[in-house]
Homo-oligomer: A and B are copies of this chain.
Amino acid sequence: MKLNIAVLPGDGIGPEIMEQALNVVKAVCQKKGHELTYKYGIVGACAIDQVGNPYPDDTHELCMQSDAVLFGAIGDPKFDNDPKAKVRPEQGLLAMRKKLGLYANIRPVETFASLLHKSPLRRELVEGADFVAIRELTGGIYFGEKGRTDNGNTAFDTCTYTRAEVERILKLGYEFAMKRRKKLTVVDKANVLESSRLWREVAQEMAPQYPEVTTEYMFVDNAAMQIIQWPTNFDVMVTENMFGDILTDEASVITGSMGLLPSASVGIHTSVFEPIHGSYPQAAGKNIANPLATILSAAMMLESAFNLMDEGALIREAVAASMTAQAVTIDIADNKDKALSTSAVGEWIVNYI
């Protein structure tokens, strides 16, 4: 099979972890006889520095022509805490989501037995938690009309959803639920928001088309509590953009395995695969960052963009083996003195494959 991917390392530790993930993809393709073509693009703070735009047209063209995008992380402290900065790395991320039509962000929330002791939750509560959080990514208050009136003294943001947007993401939610334990939790604030009432209406209309799936409705404040109290109760959770931003981050922290969790952003034109962690600027260039979440994002890419299930499974097996062998970076090593570097972990996994 021919795989044509765009590689966007981004900022901070992005380039280091991406190098290892790419090596892993190359190794798998070599072993299984796939032809891999890839091109690099710039995005984020480094793109602002180079061309003044966090998501340059060249990068967009590259993504549009690719079957899938492998993405590192973006963000640089020099742009933080300046509410008046004109160009910010995050704008690149938002532009990329909008232009590529990345309407759904999918985050598997999984626990790894060997990392359960790192969870802030009591072990017996979080053990066995295994759900998928689906966040709508191109609508809602992120992209609605916003601005100032009254000489800048009043600010507003608008949250808008259309029936078509809601149907599209709920359909994805139901499809995931059908492949899993057949429970879909629709999270909204229908007791206050009109947009949430539209979500709930559409869900209630669609539910009968999936008779095997149990549809559950939950207010967002309640969901924020249940994720901590009974994380094993969830199977597939679907919600709008802003709620999803908050809840998916909350959900990822309970596993204790932030450095291991991948994500996919499913799009109209292409799909983007990236670790959920950030650009970790303090660690940049030190060859200490954990590459596993990016490597697992590559597995997710092979599986969902190319339907290469065996290839994805091979990567997952290699990652599990590296953890069993304690061939891991310092953040998750039991014995910090025996921790490996970013590149050594990547090499270990490539050798295994």
Interface residues of A, Cβ cutoff 8 Å to B: 81, 83-84, 88, 90, 94, 119-122, 125, 141-142, 144, 146-148, 150, 153-164, 189-195, 197-198, 200-201, 204, 217, 220-222, 224-225, 228-229, 242-243, 245-247, 249-250, 252-254
A94-B192, A148-B194 provided; 5 other pairs, C-beta below 8 A?
Answer: A84-B197, A84-B201, A121-B121, A154-B163, A243-B246
Which 6 A-B pairs rank lowest in CB-CB distance, beginning with the nearest? Answer: A155-B198, A146-B194, A224-B250, A221-B249, A153-B163, A155-B195
Q: Which residues of B contact A153 (CB under 8 A)?
A: 162-164
Point out the residues of chain B lying under 8 angstroms from A157, CB to CB. 158-159, 193-195
How distant is the Cα of A96 from the Cα of B224 in the complex, in angstroms? 25
Docked complex Cα distance between A198 and B224 (Å): 26
**Roughly how many angstroms separate A90 CA and B164 CA in the complex, as a whole number?**
29
B contact residues around A84 at 8 Å (CB): 197, 201
A88 neighbours in B (Cβ, 8 Å) = 191
Q: How often does this chain occur in the complex, in copies?
A: 2
Residues from chain B with Cβ under 8 Å of A162 in the complex:
150, 153-154
Q: Are A144 and B156 in contact (CB under 8 A)?
A: yes
Write the nearest CB–CB distance from A135 to chain B, whole angstroms.
11
How far does the alpha carbon of A80 sit from the alpha carbon of B147 in the complex, in Å? Answer: 35
Q: Are A194 and B122 in contact (CB under 8 A)?
A: no
Expressed in whole angstroms, the minimum distance between the Cβ of A87 and any Cβ of chain B is 12
Q: Are B156 and A120 in contact (CB under 8 A)?
A: no
Q: List chain B residues, Cβ under 8 A from A160.
A: 154-156
In the complex, the chain B residue whose C-beta lies closest to that of A121 is B120
CB atoms of B195 and A220 under 8 A apart: no
A120 CB contacts on chain B under 8 angstroms:
121-122, 125, 228-229
Return 14 A-B CB contacts under 8 Å, by A number: A120-B121, A120-B122, A146-B194, A154-B161, A155-B198, A156-B158, A156-B159, A156-B194, A157-B194, A158-B158, A224-B224, A225-B249, A228-B228, A229-B253
A245 & B220 in contact (Cβ 8 Å cutoff): yes
A81 to chain B, nearest CB (A): 6
Q: Are B254 and A192 in contact (CB under 8 A)?
A: no
Within the complex, which residue of B122, B201, B204, B245 is in contact with A121, where a contact is CB–CB below 8 Å? B122
CA distance A218 to B325 in the complex (A): 38
Chain B residues near A220: list those with CB within 8 A. 245-246
**In whole Å, how far is A331's beta carbon from the nearest beta carbon of chain B?**
14
Alpha-carbon gap, A163 to B150, bound state (A):
10
Complexed CA–CA distance, A122 and B122 (Å): 5
List, in ascending order, chain B residues with CB within 8 A of A163's CB.
153-154
Cα distance A150–B160 in the bound complex, in angstroms = 12
Q: Which of B83, B158, B193, B228 contacts A190 (CB 8 A)?
A: B83
- Residues in B neighbouring A250, C-beta threshold 8 A: 224-225, 228, 250
Q: How far is the CB of A211 from chain B (nearest CB, A)?
A: 18
Partner among B158, B197, B246 whose Cβ is within 8 Å of the Cβ of A221: B246
Pair B249/A224 contact, Cβ less than 8 Å: yes
A144 to B192: give the CA distance in the assembly, Å.
Answer: 11
In the assembly, what is the distance between CA of A161 and CA of B246, in Å?
21
Q: How far is the CA of A189 from the CA of B198 in the complex (A)?
A: 24
What CA separation (Å) do A190 and B157 show in the bound complex?
12
